[in-house]
Chain A
Amino acid sequence: MTAPRARHTGRAARRPKLRVVAPRRRRRLPFLLISLVVVGTLIAGVASVQALVSQSSFHMSELSRRTEQLRERSLELRLKVAELSSPRHLQDAARRLGLRVPAQVNLLTVNAGAADGASETGSTQDQLALEGHVQGSP
């Protein structure tokens, strides 16, 4: 029991005297500044990215709308083309231009000698008519 006490006493005797020192001033400003810059940069970055995404989204939305409009316009034009190329419209336009349906279709024929069965004729004398040589109005 006595030996530890003696050791304790000895240490206390060797400890230097404590003195009051002035509190050490911690330099917080750089940390705050750095933090502000980092946080500010992050916020600005996130905001920018968000803005860009939003802008792209609006742009995409606008493009989709435009695409749809163009598709509708394309369909309208296709309908217009169909109406303008309908036989009724073409006939009316042809009549306005003074065109008439030919009363007689003329057949351009070649010598029937080489044609199979050409000796038997219809109302025309020759039998072989070249495809594409039938003239008339469609």
Chain B
Amino acid sequence: MTRRTPQPPARRLVALLAVLSLGLGGILYRLVVLQVKDASAYQAMARNELLREIALPATRGTIFDRNAQPLAMSLPAKAVFADPAIVRNPAGEARAVASILHLDRAEVEAKLRPAVRADGTAVRFVYLGRGVDLDVAARLAGKHLAGIGFLAESRRYYPGKELAAQVLGFVGTDGTGLDGLESQYQKILAGRPGHQVVEEDPKGVFIPQGTNEDVPPVPGEDLVLTIDQDIQYRVQAALAQAVKQNNAKGGTVIVMDPRTGEILAMATYPWFNPGNFSDYASSRWKNGAVANAYEPGSVNKVITAAAAIQDRVVGLGQRFEVPDNLRLYDKVFHDAHEHPPEQMTLADILAYSSNIGAIKVAGLLGKDRFSSYLYRFGLGHTTGLGFPGESSGIVLPPEQWSGTSMGTIPIGQGIAVTPVQMASVYATVANGGVWVQPRLVRGTVGEDGKLTPAPPPDTRRVVSAQTASTLTRMLAYAVEVGTGTEAQVPGYWVAGKTGTALKPLPNALGYSTGKYVASFIGFLPASRPSLVIAAILDEPSTEFGGIAAAPLFRQIAHMAVARLRIPPASKPPVPQHAIGAG
């Protein structure tokens, strides 16, 4: 019997050492992988498990009227969303969500059911409601529904509902300005969102002393408008009534301070409620006062007269023989009413709105000089308001005028202007011949609560102060005895002009029959103008500006002078030779 010789323990020890070394090496390798190579990834994973980033939306700035009355303001709200992959009971949860958010249950249930995108990935996010009030969201959150989440956002409110709707514009569901001043001043109003990173336990309970990164949002600046809320409201009420009374299709009114260019009211009927803008036809969203170009008709004669006085092509006492019709090339122009040939001064031509007289005066100017005044008064280019969708109107360069253009344009046909352009023309006359850029914004208010005034408006002299003064007296004469008598305001001297323009056909080939734009644009008190008011009605059954629009002007002027406490002023000075008749 042979006995095995025991192996020396050193070999076993070496084997054990090798095994241990391998094991330790593996552990070391794994340690290096975890601690060095993949450290940042695992750190991020750990952070994501613990940390939660909360978006902090910036509060959108408030839009105030000139008297610090809020016209648009934002309140915090919640967006309600769902992750269909987590929703356990789509039918049951849809019932709860639909009842609290007042939504259609079937639609909500369809959103809560698992769905797949075109690329094959599962839908993990779907909105159930936007701009949900906080208390409503809190009620829903109290149900602890699986897969239903909330995001902080804000909701825009317009306390005056339809008040100045087209001026203010509106914001989309994400709070971005889409139209009007909301869009024009988006960057100023929006502010800058912030965020907060907090550490939470697996149950979502905030861990104090944990990571707490806080980047506060920067609220948007407030906007202070030139609009006067009370005047705006009364203007809208008067406009709606006038449209109804005259069976008109719509209308526009602008109230402006000629000295500063500040617009106190701007309304276009029909309007809409910006809080529910999607419930209205998009045609109502347009601010017709700046975006609608129309043929102004006889209100344009003020430019013809201004050019003639300024360039001294007409003696103020000079009388023209004015028949009731005049052939110019292939077209015969008529006055509004038949009359035998009359001797008329320039003041009479304006007062009685003679087309033939205006054409004769323009003929003395020539198209180059006349067209230069159209541009100098601001027609053919935007006013500088910067309003979204603002139209520059249509004024062709004189080299493109046809043979009859010197018949149509002096009487306000064959060109297109916006109401705000035309109001600015009268504001220029009211302001002593100086054109002032119209404006809707007085300034912005930052976090410090101080008003930063808007840059001063551009100004330029268009005609001399003497020309403006003479013209003012003529326009006052037109209201005193001419076509604008319906615009008289008890106690005040009013200067203004009526306009009755045929509407062009949509194909631009001629004019429609019986469809007019009736207007009256004027200012008061005539000798110390504080207000310019443009009243324009689209397709009134009463047709004439003196009948349809002048009473609207009177009603608004009557209200505005009382509201603004504008005292009457003396009769405008009479250039001795200005009035040749009447």
- Closest A residue by C-beta to B154: A75
Q: How far is the CA of A83 from the CA of B563 in the complex (A)?
A: 21
Selected from B159, B491, B571, the residue in CB contact (under 8 A) with A79 is: B159
The residues of A that contact B70 with a CB separation of less than 8 Å are: 78-79, 82
Q: How large is the interface on A (under 10, 10 to 19, 20 to 34, 35 or more residues)?
A: 35 or more
Bitwise, B159-202 to A at CB < 8 A (1) or not (0) is 11101000000000000000000000000000000000000000
- The answer to whether the Cβ of B566 comes within 8 Å of any Cβ in the partner chain is yes
Q: How far is the CA of A61 from the CA of B491 in the complex (A)?
A: 65
Q: How far is the CA of A79 from the CA of B69 in the complex (A)?
A: 11
* B-to-A contact residues, CB < 8 Å: 69-70, 73-76, 134, 157, 159-161, 163, 206, 208-209, 229-230, 233-234, 488, 490-493, 527, 558-559, 561-563, 565-571, 573
Whether the pair A138, B563 counts as a contact (CB closer than 8 A) is yes
User: Given A124-B490, A136-B562, are A76 and B75 also a contact pair (CB < 8 Å)?
Assistant: yes
What number of residue pairs across chains A and B have CB atoms under 8 A from each other?
108
Whether the pair A61, B206 counts as a contact (CB closer than 8 A) is yes
Interface residues of A in 105-138 (CB under 8 A from B): 105, 107, 115-118, 120-124, 127-138
Whether the pair A72, B75 counts as a contact (CB closer than 8 A) is yes
Selected from B233, B234, B491, the residue in CB contact (under 8 A) with A122 is: B491
The residues of A that contact B73 with a CB separation of less than 8 Å are: 75, 78-79, 82
User: Given A54-B208, A75-B76, A134-B567, are A85 and B69 also a contact pair (CB < 8 Å)?
Assistant: yes
Interface residues of A in 77-100 (CB under 8 A from B): 78-79, 82-83, 85-88, 91
Q: How far is the CA of A54 from the CA of B206 in the complex (A)?
A: 11
Whether the pair B568, A124 counts as a contact (CB closer than 8 A) is yes
Bitwise, A48-92 to B at CB < 8 A (1) or not (0) is 000001100110010000000000100110110011011110010
Whether the pair B159, A122 counts as a contact (CB closer than 8 A) is no
19 A-B pairs in the complex with CB atoms less than 8 angstroms apart: A61-B206, A61-B208, A78-B70, A78-B73, A79-B73, A82-B70, A86-B159, A86-B163, A88-B160, A116-B570, A120-B571, A122-B493, A124-B568, A127-B570, A130-B567, A133-B567, A134-B565, A134-B566, A135-B562
Q: How far is the CA of A87 from the CA of B73 in the complex (A)?
A: 17
User: Given A75-B76, A87-B234, are A129 and B562 also a contact pair (CB < 8 Å)?
Assistant: no
The residues of B that contact A124 with a CB separation of less than 8 Å are: 490-491, 568
